[in-house]
Amino acid sequence: MGKLMLTSTFGLVSHKLERIEPDLKGRTVTFIPTASMKDFTGFFNRMAKWKLRALGLNVQEIDVAVASYHDIKTTIASSSMIYVTGGNTFYLLQSLRYSSADELIAQAVREGKTYIGESAGAVVAGPNIEYIKRMDSEDPAPYLDSNYAGLGLVDFNIVPHIDGPALGESAAEIMRHSNSDDHMVPIRDDQAVLVNGPHIELVER
């Protein structure tokens, strides 16, 4: 499954990245803010780039909704990590799919690059995002055509913001309507799922 860090709120657990990437200083991360562009909390989601810089990383920002395929491919190729912010999951998936960034990211993770997903970025890493309808609006993504297949980087579905002040109720509703076949992994804002090949662990701040 490669290396992944899937979070609700990256800023609360950013120091845990060093568990799967112990040597961060001077390395480069592709920062994809696309989901945050269609969300009223977008500014706060984009603040994660300052946390990445505080870890010693060089940040290359690229919005896959407007960037060319060549620029996306070049940016990912010149980074050792990929960071995808929170925001609207449906708009994010639509943008990833229509830019072909979904294929570029999946290939990069298979080749050893680390994927960091916050909220929407964590949800889209799974096999299917349809369940997040109870938390996100589909309105910003009219071209998805009911194709909710995620990136498939992991074989489980992250449910972010469990017990959270803003989205905790939506997260709880998702869990109430799920069953064991859905492979739901609920995480609080102060938790993250770390994937390092076959090893998967839930960590807390």
**Annotated catalytic residue within 8, 119, 137, 177:** 119
**Annotated catalytic residue within 95, 161, 180, 199:** 161
CA 93/CA 199 separation, integer angstroms = 26
In the structure encoding, which two tokens stand for residue 165, read together? 């002040």
Closest C-alpha among 81, 85, 69 to residue 108: 81
CA 167/CA 24 separation, integer angstroms = 31
- Beta 199-204 vs 191-196: how paired, if at all? antiparallel
In the structure encoding, which two tokens stand for residue 161, read together? 């913001």
* Residues composing the chain: 205
Convert 108-117 to b/e letters by CB count within 10 Å (16 or more is b). bbeeebbbbb
| Known active-site residue 68 | no
| Known active-site residue 177 | no
User: Which active-site residues does the annotation give?
Assistant: 119, 161
